[in-house]
Amino acid sequence: MSNLRKLGAVGSLGLLMSGSLIFGSAHAAVAATCRPGTAAPTSTSSGKILTATNFEGNTLSPFIATRSGNGSVSVASPKAHSGTCSARLRATADIGSVANIGLALPSGTKRASADAWVNITTAGLRGNNVPYVRFFSGATRTADVFRDNGTGQLWLRVTNPNGTFSYTNLKPSIVPLNTWHRVQMQVRTNGAKSSIQVLFDGASVFSKNVGFGATSLSKVQFGAEHPRQMGDSYIDDVVVRR
């Protein structure tokens, strides 16, 4: 991960900056045309709101973008769930390609929820997946919901206390590409008495106790943190609570 360049709020041209050096048009995005007056998204989840954004301010803030290789992260238009703008994440199968946005959670967070609309327009290679949302405890990916590239189905992956993974098929039918879907996920950490709730397009698809090694959460993330996880996604109307 040492070769990843972390970006703050991305402006309308999505230029990558490092000190006084500006990387050229190879990584520049087309200027987004947003609607700043668009109403902020709401969520039925409980807890303190950490962010409620539709990216219509033409910025990714308070999310922090991470990209490397030919991966790209930007505010884009006109593909959006509301207004005209959304966050676009694009990673390829090329070596070193990474694209994601993450929101750090306050220290000691035991429970967090993410409510977002996600449009996966391009899938990746068979045997891999495209994430909808991921929760982390430090460097450990605690739980995530993803679309499997081979089957097009929706899955939940949970990291067990011993570091292995448990998988649950949440939706046996194919989740079509290039369509908006609402993903609502809540994670509570309490060791062996932890729990996860997942709603997809308003329908409950998972609500059970699970066993975590983690006792707190540190980050909510959209997109993959490891390279060559090919996929093209748009994220909009995001509400994160704790």
Q: For residue 183, is pLDDT > 80?
A: yes
Question: Is 62 a residue whose pLDDT tops 50?
Answer: yes
Q: Is 190 exposed, middle or buried (0-12, 13-18, 19+ CB in 10 A)?
A: middle
Domain membership of residue 187 (yes or no) is yes
pLDDT at residue 223, as a whole number: 97
Question: Is 151 contained in some domain?
Answer: yes
Strand order in the sheet with 5-7: 5-7, 64-68, 98-109, 217-224, 129-137, 140-148, 154-159, 165-171
Asked whether residue 15 is assigned to any structural domain, the reply reads: yes
Beta carbons within 8 Å of 180's beta carbon, 6+ residues apart: 81, 117, 118, 119, 236
**For residue 195, what are the CA distances in angstroms to 183, 186, 202, 218?**
17, 8, 19, 16
Nearest to 183 by CA among 192, 196, 195, 193: 196
Q: Which domain holds residue 173?
A: 5-36+47-241
pLDDT range class, residue 57, cuts 50, 70, 90: very high
For residue 125, pLDDT beyond 70: yes
- Alpha carbons within 13 angstroms on the beta-carbon side of residue 100 total 24
Length of the chain in residues, anyone? 242
Number of domains in the chain: 1
For the chain, the average pLDDT equals 89
- Give the pLDDT confidence score for residue 30 in this predicted structure: 62
C-beta separation of 6 from 64 below 8 A: yes
Convert the pLDDT of each residue in 187-233 to its tens digit. 999 988 999 999 999 999 999 999 998 899 999 999 999 998 999 99
Handedness of CA 3, 230, 158, 100 (dihedral sign): positive
- CATH code where residue 117 lies: 2.60.120.200
